[in-house]
């Protein structure tokens, strides 16, 4: 009897020890999973003020929210084939999430993975750019084209021809040009569009466009944005109005644009970071997070450029706009 009791007690101790070890292992595993350092790949089609501000907003928001993540950033320098290579390298590195800045970068990421979550930003039209998928969500910088074209009539009623220079390889640019032509007819304007194949053709394309137009509408085109100062310099020297379809935040390049209509690109990055946190920390499925479209933007004006081109400073649009300088 005594031996049986001792054996029973020993068995109970062994069982309790096993349970304790099992519980300890589970706790450690949960702690390890919770504290796992995340790996986020950021792919950007090119480096220019708007896209750089998106990336800055994204990274700063993650840091402010205490998200422990290793950021792997790569720029395609405007080369679509490099964008594809970058996307594939992130798959090979088994990143936890891809943050794709621009339409070409988002399309490249979508082409290489249906498993890794993708959050995009600075994409003009996600649906027409074929970016609907179970592992994708993001923020759009789609501009209110009609209301932006209306600004030309309000700034100078004599404007009849509005020039647009754009990259022929960007679907987001083709969408915007088509939309601009549709609304221009309603507003009594004519769109003079000049497409360029690469950055080397841009100076000649800008000159050709300026020679045929009364004013310039800068759509959200990555190639053109990467040469923002060149476009602004040539347009200002020709003493013509330049209206930008996006706000490039408080950068030196932004101050060379006569008037920008939009919202902060940094805010697109911050919103994208919130989406990434939902996916990575709360296990939310990307496709259940709706695409984000910004509300109508505000007008931001460079008074230095207004004076340079001789525009009336008492114009209602100018008076009511936020001043960059």
Q: What is the pLDDT of residues 190-247, one digit of tens each?
A: 999 999 999 999 999 999 999 999 999 999 888 998 889 999 999 999 999 999 987 7
Higher confidence at residue 6 or residue 313?
313
Which residue do the tokens 């790949």 mark?
41
Nearest residue to 134 (alpha-carbon basis) of 112, 115, 154: 115
Output the pLDDT for position 313.
Answer: 93
Residue ranges, comma separated, of all CATH 3.40.50.2300 domains in the chain are 38-141+265-293, 145-262+297-323
CATH class of 145-262+297-323: alpha beta
Assigned CATH for 38-141+265-293: 3.40.50.2300
Output the pLDDT for position 298.
Answer: 85
Q: What is the pLDDT of residues 267-284, one digit of tens each?
A: 999 999 999 999 999 999
Nearest residue to 92 (alpha-carbon basis) of 54, 127, 41: 41
Alpha-helix runs per DSSP H in 35-102: 49-64, 80-92
Average pLDDT rounded to a whole number, residues 95-101 = 98
Nearest residue to 218 (alpha-carbon basis) of 207, 206, 201: 206
> DSSP of 205-225, one letter per residue?
HHHHHHHH-SEEEE-S-HHHH
End-to-end CA separation in angstroms for the chain: 95
Q: What is the pLDDT of residues 15-52, one digit of tens each?
A: 333 343 333 333 332 333 345 789 999 999 999 888 99
Q: What is the pLDDT of residues 58-97, one digit of tens each?
A: 999 999 999 999 999 999 999 999 999 999 999 999 999 9
């Amino acid at each position: 009897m005594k031996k049986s009791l001792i054996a029973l007690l020993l068995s109970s101790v062994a069982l309790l020890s096993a349970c304790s070890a099992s519980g300890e292992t589970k706790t450690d595993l949960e702690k390890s999973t919770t504290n796992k350092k995340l790996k986020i790949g950021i792919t950007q089609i090119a480096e220019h003020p708007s896209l750089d501000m998106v990336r800055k907003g994204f990274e700063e928001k993650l840091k402010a929210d205490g998200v422990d993540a290793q950021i792997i950033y790569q720029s395609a320098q405007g080369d679509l084939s490099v964008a594809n290579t970058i996307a594939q390298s992130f798959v090979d590195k088994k990143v936890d999430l891809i943050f794709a800045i621009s339409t070409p970068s988002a399309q490249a990421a979508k082409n290489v993975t249906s498993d890794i979550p993708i959050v995009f930003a600075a994409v003009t039209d996600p649906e027409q750019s074929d970016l609907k998928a179970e592992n994708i969500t993001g923020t759009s910088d789609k501009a209110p084209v009609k209301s932006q074209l209306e600004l030309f009539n309000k700034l100078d009623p004599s404007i009849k021809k509005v020039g647009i220079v754009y990259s022929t390889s960007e679907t987001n640019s083709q969408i915007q040009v088509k939309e601009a032509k549709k609304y221009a007819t309603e507003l009594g304007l004519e769109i003079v569009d000049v497409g360029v194949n690469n950055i080397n053709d841009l100076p000649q394309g800008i000159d050709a466009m300026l020679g045929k137009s009364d004013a310039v509408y800068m759509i959200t085109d990555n190639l053109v944005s990467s040469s923002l100062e060149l476009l602004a310099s040539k347009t200002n020297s020709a003493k013509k109005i330049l209206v930008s379809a996006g706000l490039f935040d408080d950068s030196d390049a932004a101050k060379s644009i006569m008037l920008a209509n939009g919202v902060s690109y940094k805010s697109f990055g911050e919103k994208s970071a919130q989406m990434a946190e939902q996916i990575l920390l709360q296990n939310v499925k990307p496709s259940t997070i709706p695409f984000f479209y910004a509300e109508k933007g505000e007008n931001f004006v460079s008074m230095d450029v207004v004076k340079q081109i001789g525009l009336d400073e008492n114009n209602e649009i100018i008076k009511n706009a936020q001043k960059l300088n």
